[in-house]
Amino acid sequence: MSTYPNTAAAAVVVTATATADPACAEPLPVLGRDVTVPLVTGGEVTYAALDYAASAPALQRVWDDVAAYAPYYGSVHRGAGYLSQLSTDLFEQSRATVAEFLDCRPSDQVIFTRSTTDSLNLLAAVLPAGCQVFVFETEHHASLLPWGDAQVTYLNAPRTPAQAVETLERALAERDPHGPALVCVTGASNVTGELWPVKELAAAAHAHGARIVLDAAQLAPHHPVSVQELDVDWVAFSGHKLYAPFGSGVLAGRADWLQQAEPYLAGGGASRKVARRADGGVDVEWHTTAARHEAGSPNVIGVYSIASACKALTEAGFEGLVARERHLISKVRDGLAEVPAVRILSLFGDEAPRVGVISFVVDGWNSSHFAAALSAEYGIGVRDGLFCAHPLVRTLLGSEPQAQGECGAPEAAPGERSLNAIRVSFGAGTPDEHVDRFVGAVKELVADGAKWRYRTEEGRCVPAV
């Protein structure tokens, strides 16, 4: 196997380090940190990217690593040439890097996919016959929807971490104890940012003979994730939320269900041997390694970008990253608490530990209008809607499904319930100035209203020309 050339694998210095004062720590360098955008009111401003929960900006370290590798790009696993061997080496090194990042067990497999959604659909495709699935209604649709023909039990939203464990234990106690079962749970909510009691839920699952998969899409970019410490059977996450672009994801965990099932995709790479039969058909021997579910030419650059991000976060030190993020969370929550019209959405309460994801509604405002004004008048990018977690947001809003409203809601009666919510999210690349500008903009919009007129276009609120 080739050795990756030092020129292509040159390390990029990561500037964020753990310090005693998180407010003094520098954010990690990300692409787009100096991009300016126009304002409808005139002039330009540096863009404040506060939609990390959807897609985080790429770390500069990741971009530089990928750029260094790009001239050496080649086919993976099936080439005799130097670049093919080098790319194969890099691909498998990346698999080992991800396994180390997740603290996987020696027997675990790391499978590269397109995203968390793809990872959980892959797991759904390999479930044993008769498998029962248990999932809270609070999950992202990626965890809520892929289970197909399995017998699915949807659990009501808990209001405390302890209630989550109790709810799961009651449900598992009532299941058929002889058949296979799987619990799917998030590590951190993509709506509230609240951390879930994963280790306790895993213990409850295993005590009742079930397995558990962790949706770490919102957890892995903010906190260390240890498969062994949490004692989960699988973990899934997306590169594009881990500061790694190019559309790759990971499913890592126990190999047996994966080895026993038919390949997720049938094709080259997944097959070890194919032979014609006398009756005209073909016999196929499938790989039992991770390759079994990685048919086709893999996204080598996407995979390498994930490995690069894993290394960058590890080298920066999660202790410092977590401390600095808590500092930013306090800034946002304290600032929003000073605005009586703002209500922050929460399942577990104000004191619950959380990552940098905060959703809220503003009395008298349609959330789409508010988000549009933040963008057009302040150069701040947030998200509005139901965040691919419709049952959870509806529960938090205390509402039933309703028709989408127009974006003229500032003229609505005070106290009118918004049809959706606003989400601000941030992470390792967010400077203090962005959250300060966001809090200031919220206060100005609530106090003075929007400076511009807006209209609805294809269901979105946009500035009127």
Number of neighbours of residue 75 by Cβ within 10 angstroms: 15
SS3 69: helix
358/386 Cα distance (integer angstroms): 13
Can you tell me whether residue 185 is helix, strand or coil? strand
CB 33 within 8 A of CB 429: yes
Judge contact between 335 and 343, C-beta under 8 A.
no
Taking Cα atoms as reference points, which of 372, 342, 374, 373 lies closest to residue 359?
Answer: 342
Measuring CA to CA, which residue among 244, 163, 239, 174 is closest to residue 209? 174
Strand partners, 422: 360, 384
Q: Which of 24, 104, 184, 388 is catalytic?
A: 388
With tokens 């190019």, the residue in question is: 246
- The 10 Å CB-count burial string (b at 16+, else e) for 285-317 is ebbeebbbbbbeebbbbbbbbbbbbbbbbeebb
407 is catalytic: no
DSSP β-bridge partners for residue 37: 45
CB atoms closer than 10 angstroms to residue 91: 19
**CA atoms of 460 and 368, how far apart (whole Å):** 7
CA distances from 462 to 36, 38, 191, 406, 423 (A): 19, 14, 23, 11, 18
Q: Which residues contact 351 (CB under 8 A, 6 or more apart)?
A: none
Q: What is the β-pairing status of strands 460-463 and 454-457?
A: antiparallel
> Which neighbouring-strand residues pair with 407?
none
Catalytic residue positions, numbered:
388
